């Protein structure tokens, strides 16, 4: 299997084995279709209830931000992810070049300062402690009120029961782990096989043979209904796909054309030579292929888009035919004998892909790392107790710690001092700026911000740091008081074409240690809803610009809009089974990831580069005592890329010592 980053370094051949290796977290699903706050059960929906950061900080006499003992961000509802208070300082820096005019020097000296407390930054701290020798002092700065970066959890405590959902990063793409990733996870006590067995086998986000239905809405498909069929197999022409396609209720001519596409009645590219065919697949967008060659209309094409939105954050007009087919979208059999062969390979390989997960997704990996770094933060010592472990955030940034995690702190300047022997890092917390010193610094934050943080980087490197654009995404968790209506529906795991939320599913049904996330009777439920704000791209528009537009619209979308859309969609989906959003929804958490997945190169939007010359490879060059980690630096939007980046960046700095 080719390495994940082969695209920019080698000429690409279209083969299922290669294409399936890209952007395939949520992989199972992709190939399937293709402490806190005690809440009474009749508590009202939490509106945009972010407490201001200042409410939770007790600024200690050493001027660092010691957190109050009651501080417990995972239970906060309302607008989370990129929450109020987390982004203003960075935006002032990036948009207007604003840096604080007054900075207070703190008498703090570290061996390593890490900017960014996501998986990459936490892994940097852990690996540095392993590799740099005993007695090292490390500080991690993060602008959010919680650690973990994208790997955060949403926690709901209701009527004595805890329900966990993922606030971002979901599952472990074990098939693509490097030895380094395996080593780190083993150190953390992660047993992938035990995790696989801890989740219900029908859960589509963890198992490719899991269950994913369709919700078809009245506006586009005539009536609101949930269809429950094995759609992955259907799109790949397995089983009785003819009967299943009839249940979609498409116009007769669309049904006929869709069936012809699936069954491969004829080679839709029979006017092209093999070489031209290959080029067509990587240079033509899937929507054009389906429209022009297969005769499908927009509403039929939309059936395949929820998976594209979830994985690439864009629709069929932005993906090459090859990229779309690799997600399990239909059409392979209509590409002649090579396509039929690829279809049989894809059907076989896609059947049983397991992507294990914790009940709170990859937040558990962040929590395992934090507990290793600061053992006093929580009891326990294994992956089995991590979901239920109570974390004491007041322990994160104590002066006696070897490793400190300072939340609500945005780094604004990282420069060498003392003839290059040290790095000075300036950060802002609660409107005050502080300066600290370090022997080494790793920027495990976002590529696009680094040029503003590090003015001393070469201009060519700064340009490449700005090349990509992160994919904006919204993950919502909705607490439902009573699951009886949901139980009456054919399934609660649905792809939702042409709806505000492209995917809806139950929260991870994982049993781990004392935590039990599986459903029981009419109990409370947590529903996951995925919204992708990306607008339709205009012809020829580069995806990076489309993501930027989406990000700006996301910032101006208030919580109330999400609340309204959630209610409307859940009523449309489950109203027929007795669901009433006004009565049944107890709480909503909207995880707004304006800077979501790391940018990955795409067929239609990026050229090929010689090895070593791709933007992310130039962008991540070490500058003296400053190295760059984060999944952006791997041009790969996965937890394992964030860990690989940490190994590289720590190695660079340890070799300097």
Ligand X SMILES: Cc1cc2nc3c(=O)[nH]c(=O)nc-3n(C[C@H](O)[C@H](O)[C@H](O)COP(=O)(O)OP(=O)(O)OC[C@H]3O[C@@H](n4cnc5c(N)ncnc54)[C@H](O)[C@@H]3O)c2cc1C
- Provide the binding-site residues for ligand X, judged by CB under 6 A: 25-26, 90, 115-121, 141-144, 149-151, 168-171, 173, 362, 410-411, 444-446, 449, 453, 473, 475, 593, 596-597, 630-631, 637-639, 642
What's the CA gap between 533 and 594, in Å, rounded? 9
- Cβ of residue 169: shortest distance to ligand X, in angstroms? 4
User: Angle CA(26)–CA(27)–CA(31) in degrees, nearest 5?
Assistant: 125
Is the Cβ of residue 115 or residue 326 nearer to ligand X in the bound state? Answer: 115
State both tokens at 571: 């009523």
Structure tokens at 531: 């919204």
Closest separation in Å from C-beta 214 to ligand X: 22
Whose CA is closest to 212, among 24, 25, 33?
Answer: 33
**What SS3 string covers 130-181?**
HHCCCCCCEEEECCCCCCECCCCEEEEEECCEEEEEECCCCCCCHHHCCHHH
With 0-12 / 13-18 / 19 or more C-beta atoms within 10 angstroms meaning exposed / middle / buried, residue 7 is buried
Minimum distance, C-beta of residue 444 to ligand X, in the bound complex (Å): 5
Nearest to ligand X of 334, 464 (CB atom): 464
Nearer to ligand X, 185 or 303 (CB): 185
Strands 138-141 and 104-115: parallel
- Residue 639 Cβ, how far from ligand X at the closest point, in Å? 3
SS3 20: coil
Going by the DSSP 8-state scheme, the letter that residue 291 receives in this structure is I
Residues 461, 618: Cα–Cα separation, whole Å = 6
Closest CB to ligand X among 250 and 628? Answer: 628
For the chain, give percent helix, strand, coil, nearest 5.
40, 20, 45
Whose Cβ is closer to ligand X: residue 451's or residue 596's? Answer: 596
Q: Is the Cβ–Cβ distance between 604 and 318 less than 8 Å?
A: yes
CB of 336 to ligand X, least distance (A): 34
> For residues 464 and 466, what is the distance between their CA atoms, to the nearest angstrom?
5
d(CA 226, CA 233): 18
Q: How far apart are CA 268 and CA 292, in angstroms?
A: 10
Nearer to ligand X, 115 or 321 (CB): 115
DSSP letter (8 states) at residue 392? -
Cα–Cα dist 616/614, whole Å:
6
| Backbone torsions φ then ψ of 136, nearest 5 degrees | -85, 145
What CA–CA distance (Å, rounded) separates 312 from 300?
A: 19
Q: With respect to ligand X, which residue has the nearer C-beta, 143 or 320?
A: 143
Strands 104-115 and 432-443: parallel
Looking up tokens 């495990």 gives: 444
Minimum separation from the CB atom of position 598 to ligand X (A): 6
Task: Determine the Cα–Cα distance for residues 192 and 177; give it in Å rounded to an integer.
Answer: 12
| 235 sits in which H/E element | helix 231-235
Q: Which is nearer to ligand X, 116 or 483 (CB)?
A: 116
Kindly compute the dihedral angle of the four CA atoms of residues 271, 273, 276, 281, in this order, to the nearest 10 degrees: 70
Shortest reach from residue 238's CB to ligand X, in Å: 26
Residue 191: CB minimum distance to ligand X, A: 18
Instruction: Pick the closer one to ligand X by CB: 228 or 416.
Output: 416
- Decide whether 168 or 213 has the Cβ nearer to ligand X: 168
Task: Compute the least distance from the CB of residue 42 to ligand X, in Å.
Answer: 31
C-alpha dihedral (433, 437, 442, 448), degrees to nearest 10: 30
Least distance from C-beta 589 to ligand X, angstroms? 13
The least distance separating ligand X from the CB of residue 413, rounded to whole angstroms, comes to: 10
Query: Residue 16 or 121: which CB sits closer to ligand X?
Result: 121
With respect to ligand X, which residue has the nearer C-beta, 236 or 423?
423
Closest to ligand X by CB, 245 or 450: 450
Q: Do residues 534 and 550 make contact, with C-beta atoms less than 8 angstroms apart?
A: yes
Q: How far is the CB of 590 from ligand X (least distance, A)?
A: 12
Closer residue to ligand X (CB): 240 or 456: 456
Pick the closest to residue 289 from 316, 257, 327 (CA basis).
316
In terms of CB distance, is 78 or 148 closer to ligand X?
148
Size of the chain, expressed as the number of residues it contains: 657
HSE-CB of 311 using CA atoms within 13 angstroms: 32
- Min. distance of Cβ 181 from ligand X in angstroms? 10
CB 149, min distance to ligand X, A: 2
Strand partners, 628: 443
Of 347, 326, 348, residue with least CA distance to 14: 326
Encoding tokens for residue 108?
Answer: 């703090």
Closest CB 338 distance from ligand X, rounded Å: 31
């Amino acid at each position: 299997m080719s390495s994940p980053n082969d695209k920019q370094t080698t000429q690409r051949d279209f083969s299922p084995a290669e294409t399936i290796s890209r952007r395939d977290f949520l992989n199972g699903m992709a190939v399937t279709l293709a402490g806190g706050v005690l809440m009474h059960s009749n508590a009202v929906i939490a509106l945009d209830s972010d407490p201001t950061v200042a409410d939770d900080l007790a600024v200690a006499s050493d001027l660092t931000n010691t957190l109050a003992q009651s501080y417990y961000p995972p239970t906060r509802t309302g607008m989370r992810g990129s929450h109020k208070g987390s982004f203003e300082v960075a935006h002032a820096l990036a948009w207007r070049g604003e840096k604080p005019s007054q900075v207070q020097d703190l008498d703090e000296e570290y061996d390593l300062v890490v900017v960014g407390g996501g998986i990459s930054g936490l892994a940097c701290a852990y690996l540095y402690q392993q590799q740099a020798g005993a007695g090292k002092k490390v500080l991690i700065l993060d602008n959010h009120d919680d650690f973990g970066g994208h790997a955060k959890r949403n926690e709901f405590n209701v009527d004595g029961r805890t329900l966990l959902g993922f606030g971002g990063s979901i599952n472990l793409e074990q098939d693509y782990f490097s030895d380094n990733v395996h080593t780190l996870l083993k150190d953390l006590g992660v047993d992938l096989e035990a995790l696989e067995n801890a989740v219900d086998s029908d859960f589509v986000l963890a198992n490719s043979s899991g269950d994913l239905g369709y919700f078809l809405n009245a506006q586009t498909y005539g009536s609101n209904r949930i269809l429950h069929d094995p759609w992955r197999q259907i799109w790949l022409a397995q089983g009785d796909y003819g009967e299943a396609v009839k249940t979609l209720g498409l116009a007769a001519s669309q049904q006929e054309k869709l069936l012809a596409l699936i069954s491969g009645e004829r080679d839709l590219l029979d006017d092209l030579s093999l070489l031209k065919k290959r080029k067509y697949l990587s240079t033509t967008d899937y929507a054009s292929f389906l429209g022009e060659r297969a005769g499908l209309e927009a509403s039929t094409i939309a059936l395949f888009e929820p998976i594209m939105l979830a994985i690439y954050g864009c629709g069929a007009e932005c993906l090459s035919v090859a990229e779309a087919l690799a997600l399990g979208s239909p059409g392979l059999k209509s590409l002649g004998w090579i396509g039929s062969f690829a279809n049989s390979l894809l059907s076989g390989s896609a059947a049983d892909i397991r992507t294990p997960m914790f009940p709170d997704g990859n937040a558990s990996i962040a929590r395992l790392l934090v507990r290793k770094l600061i053992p006093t933060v929580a009891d326990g010592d294994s992956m089995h107790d991590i979901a239920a472990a109570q974390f004491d955030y007041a322990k994160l940034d104590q002066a006696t710690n070897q490793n400190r995690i300072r939340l609500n702190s945005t780094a604004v300047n990282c420069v060498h001092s003392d003839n290059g022997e040290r790095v000075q890092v300036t950060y802002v917390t609660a409107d005050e700026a502080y300066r600290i010193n370090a022997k080494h610094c790793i920027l495990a934050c976002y590529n696009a911000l680094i040029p503003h943080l590090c003015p001393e980087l070469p201009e060519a490197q700064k340009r490449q740091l700005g090349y990509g654009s992160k994919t904006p995404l919204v993950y919502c968790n909705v607490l439902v008081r009573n699951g009886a209506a949901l139980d009456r529906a054919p399934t609660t795991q649905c792809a939702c074409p042409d709806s505000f939320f492209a995917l809806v599913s139950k929260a991870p049904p994982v049993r781990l240690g004392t935590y039990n996330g599986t459903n029981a009777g009419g109990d409370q439920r947590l529903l996951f809803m995925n919204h992708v704000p990306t607008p339709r791209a205009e012809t020829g528009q580069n995806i990076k610009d489309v993501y930027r537009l989406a990000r700006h619209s996301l910032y101006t979308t208030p919580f109330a809009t999400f609340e309204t859309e959630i209610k409307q969609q859940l009523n449309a989906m489950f109203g027929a089974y007795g669901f009433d959003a006004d009565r049944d929804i107890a709480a909503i958490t909207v995880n707004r990831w304006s800077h979501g997945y790391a940018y990955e190169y795409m067929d239609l939007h990026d050229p090929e580069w010689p090895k070593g010359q791709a933007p992310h490879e130039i962008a991540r060059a070490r500058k003296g005592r400053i190295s760059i980690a984060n999944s952006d630096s791997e041009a790969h939007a996965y937890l394992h890329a964030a860990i690989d980046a940490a190994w590289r960046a720590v190695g660079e700095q340890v070799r300097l010592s």
